[in-house]
Chains A and B, each alone.
Chain A
Amino acid sequence: MSWVGRSIRRVEDPALLCGAGTFVGDIGGAASARFVRSPVASGLVRAVRGPAYTIADLDADEVGNIEAVLHRPDYVRLAQPLLARERVRYVGEPVAVVVGATAAEAEDLAEQVELDIEPLPAAVGLEAALAPGAPLVHPSESESNVMVAGEMATPGLAEALEGAHAIVELEITSGRQAALPLEARGSHAVTERFGGRTTLHASIQAPHMIRTVICDLLGMPEADLRVVAPDVGGAFGQKLPLAREDAVVVWLSRRLGRPVAWIEDRSENLMASWHSREQRYRLRAGFDASAHLEALQADVAANVGAWPCYPITWGVEPLMALAELPGPYTLEHYGVRSRGVASHTCPMSPYRGVSRPVITLALERLMDIAAARLGVDPVEIRRRNLQSDFPHTSPTGLRHDEGTYREAMEQAVSHVDLGAFRARQHAARAAGGPQPGIGICTFSERTGYGTPAFAARAMGVTPGYENVELSMDPSGYVTLRIGASPHGQGLETALSQIVADEVGTDPGRVRVVASDTDRTPYGWGSFASRAMVLAGGATYLAAQKLASQLGSLAAEVLEAAADDIVLADGRATVAGTSVGVEVAELARIAHHHTQRLPAGATPGLSAQAGYDPAGTFSNACHVAEVDVDPDTGGVSMRRFVVVEDAGRLINPMIADGQIRGGVAQGIANALLEEVVYDDDGNILTTSLMDYLPPTVAEIPDIEILHLETVSDATVTGAKGLGEGGTIGAPAAVLNAVNDALAHLGVELNEMPATPERVRAAVRAAAGRSPAGENDRSTQEAPVR
């Protein structure tokens, strides 16, 4: 019986359940670093007084600047110092650092540091940063705040829009959000007194990449820095880029010759870690008389904050939007301008789904609005526009492998019983009070992409492949060393299932080593829904090699043909016979009786493999049911259904966990979470009283159904699914909120749909049209 496909319990859990995990804050034994941060959004640093290290100290040690590069003509290239130099550009930017014996002492010391900063006018938010004459974030390097801009159009776009039966125009905005891992960031560095080697433990997603960049900055050989990601308490993209603080902690430990730790507090995390998703989409879409989407023109802008993130840069949100906006639809004509706009706010990093939650919101609102305008059912308009011939190549050249876009939607709609819902909704319309609404969202999730996809981005470094090393020790146990760096996903368990099947052993006899540059092959880490595809693929390939070695050895021992050897249940047997040998005995022979190996065979049992596929697309349909109170603007979730196709599921329990957690974040993105600045750039959401992640009270049970389309895009048949929940949920929820209030003429295209925004939309609709019908948008052109 196969281990792949079974919901076995996670090997990661017992330690975590007993409080015996090791998170970076649990290591201890180090002095505490505390960063002194800018209290103003923009200003010139006149002086720093007090017991602190500043950029002058880093400069004296010839510490380098971070250069997050895209090799594109439209990209403004910057050199970012590890602490502010001359100028501060957002509230929370690190200006100085103090070191105390304890965290409390370091906080006391930080309070003694006086920052003499001359405030300057700030550009806060997208509109302010794009306004003519806006204060510039990097005045020496750029004459505007547009730091990256992409543009493309397919031939015939203008004609297609001109000839369209109906034009639908739409503006979608997303508030600024924080990934908010429950464990904030942190790092802990120890430098050996003799030899000078440093070990950094940090709460990060990509230890090898972080080692490279820190060594580049500090002028160290990589062999002298060991980077370990111990247990990591959630990340969601926020722990992928280099944290300036982590590099400073390594520098401090080397300079001071003592262990130094920085444990970020929640206020710092909300203010000065990374933010995401502050985006605006203006869409102009042309439909034919049959409601086929023929042409789409988009203008996208993202407020990417004050500095780029390394290595992904602040191109990641706008350029992903450019490339992936056509989504799961068979659109032929497409044109887009997409800009990354700097402002005096916290820098942007990828957050679960990156741009796709907002892309999907834009497209799925478009479909619902167009459906209403054209008198077509929301399910029917999608049915007519979703991809069904594979492979499908998008207008931006993305190749979609086989998926189940339509099938997933049909199954979701049939599962929720739309007819019964409409009857209930009809009754509620008559009764008044909270109004039920239902929203559908179909989407694709690009996952598991390797070097070719990253090379197309022209980054300063090109991530992509994953490597693994697999070995069997003399006891017959298997050790798998991976370059990926799991942080709660359960990757160790899932990989052990793949190994067990190929080597004919039990997952309990597989140990996975990860997240330690001293003990694992170079790899890129865990992000972009890639680890199961990339590390899983490499594991599968390495396990086949190991199985082949075992097969050859068994053939020698059993005097049979290697092709006839079957590995199962810890034994190698000759097919169709009871003649066999324990794998553990083969492992002994391979190490301790090498005279029995075939001539020329390498002693031991080990294999390595890399995997670097072009990528694949998962797909899903989400359906949300909500109740909306038009009088209070309150939205409550009643039901959430997911039909997901991520190819072959290695461990369905883990897959469902990824989906549920993703949907919960998506619901919160849709309804609750928003980072708020005032006009001067003061951040108003620096505690969990102001920034609102969901509790169990806001998240319904999530019903999940699976399709398993096994395409040839990956060697295991598995596609990624780590981000899909978050990608689809906001659009499903916003469509449901709009559906609930459709009879009032409400149109709400902004997330999060807070009570304040829902009420504003209800008031706006009442002001537009007392009868509240049909006049769905003030911006729409008439149907031709």
Chain B
Amino acid sequence: MTEISAADVAVPVVLRVNGDEYRITAQPRRTLADALRDDCGLTGTHLGCEHGVCGACTVLLDGEPVRSCLLFAVQSQGAEIRTVEGLAGDDGTLHPLQEAFWRHHGLQCGFCTPGFLMLSAGVLETRPDIGDDELREALSSNLCRCTGYQTIVEAVRSVRDAGEA
């Protein structure tokens, strides 16, 4: 019989995501990504590697882009979490970054897209005047296998240039 350790026992966790409160129970070992996807039903946050390299699971935690696969849900209590589901307006109006990715063909299969959108939102909100080289460096945090990146960079630059983020 497997021993039950404290790490196996689910505990109550309250997550604030996109302004809504989610009261869930989660094992302490449960990652924020799994909690968002499986407990909150927010499956827009994707898992591409689960070891912190690909960035598909990027969300904003108090405004900072983080890998939600490297955080535990219990660590994220009390923080303002933002995911891709919170980008568009309540009336369905796309966020300027979503519009720009669409216009510039910054996505193909779309699996990395939520991570790139949240990364870009976090970067532009904190550094609206970020230079081209620094922006490229910031975007090198995440992986895309389809686009070759050029159109992603063009999309984010266009939002920066318009001062829209």
Contacts and interface: CB of A to CB of B under 8 A. Distances in A.
A180 B48 CA distance: 10
Nearest to A180: B145
A57 interface: no
Contacts of A487: 109
Interface in A1-26: 9-10, 12-14, 16-23, 25-26
Interface in B80-130: 83-85, 87-88, 94, 98, 101-103, 105, 107-114, 117
11 contacts: A18-B84, A19-B43, A20-B44, A26-B43, A102-B38, A182-B112, A184-B48, A234-B109, A266-B51, A661-B148, A702-B150
A475 interface: no
A17 B143 CA distance: 16
A256 to B, nearest CB: 21
Contacts of A232: 109
A19 B83 contact: yes
Interface stretch (A496-504, A567-575, A686-694): A686-694
Given A688-B54, A689-B53, A695 B140 contact: yes
A26 B36 CA distance: 11
Interface stretch (A39-47, A368-376, A611-619, A652-660): A652-660
B77 interface: no
A632 interface: no
Top 5 nearest A-B pairs (CB, nearest first) are A19-B44, A488-B109, A16-B110, A233-B111, A660-B148
A610 to B, nearest CB: 27
Interface in A225-255: 231-234, 236
Given A23-B111, A488-B109, A266 B146 contact: no
A661 B27 CA distance: 40
B46 interface: yes
A288 to B, nearest CB: 40
A515 B160 CA distance: 37
A490 B108 contact: yes
Nearest to A489: B108
Interface of A: 9-10, 12-14, 16-23, 25-26, 28, 102-104, 108, 112, 180-184, 231-234, 236, 265-266, 487-490, 653-654, 656-657, 660-665, 687-689, 693, 695-697, 699, 701-702, 725
A654 B105 contact: yes
B151 to A, nearest CB: 7
A697 B46 contact: no
Contacts of B151: 657, 660
Interface of B: 2, 27, 29-30, 34, 37-38, 42-51, 53-54, 56, 83-85, 87-88, 94, 98, 101-103, 105, 107-114, 117, 136-137, 139-153
B99 to A, nearest CB: 8
Contact of B137 (A20, A183, A184, A697): A697
A185 to B, nearest CB: 13
- From B48, B85, B141, name the one whose CB has the most chain A CB atoms within 10 angstroms: B48
Given A17-B94, A25-B47, A104-B29, 17 more contacts: A14-B102, A18-B88, A19-B114, A180-B145, A182-B109, A182-B144, A657-B108, A660-B148, A663-B148, A687-B51, A688-B143, A689-B51, A695-B139, A695-B143, A695-B149, A696-B136, A701-B150
Contacts of B2: 108, 112
B27 A653 contact: no
Contact of B110 (A180, A231, A696, A699): A231
> What DSSP secondary structure best describes chain A's contact surface?
loop
Given A660-B150, A661-B146, A9 B49 contact: no
A488 B106 CA distance: 12
Nearest to B118: A19
Contacts of A702: 148, 150
Contact of A234 (B34, B45, B49, B146): B146
A725 B108 CA distance: 15
B94 A14 contact: yes
A21 B110 contact: yes
A725 B145 CA distance: 13
Nearest to B112: A182
A487 B83 CA distance: 24
- From B29, B141, B151, name the one whose CB has the most chain A CB atoms within 10 angstroms: B151
A184 to B, nearest CB: 8
Nearest to A111: B2
Given A16-B113, A18-B85, A687-B51, A693 B143 contact: yes
B147 A660 contact: yes
A265 B148 contact: no
Nearest to B101: A17
Contact of A182 (B37, B94, B143): B143
Contacts of B50: 265-266
A675 to B, nearest CB: 16
A488 B53 contact: no
Contacts of B34: 103
A664 B146 CA distance: 8
A76 B63 CA distance: 59
A702 to B, nearest CB: 6
B48 A182 contact: yes
B110 A13 contact: yes
A23 B46 contact: yes
Contacts of B136: 696-697
A233 B109 contact: yes
Contacts of A488: 108-110, 146
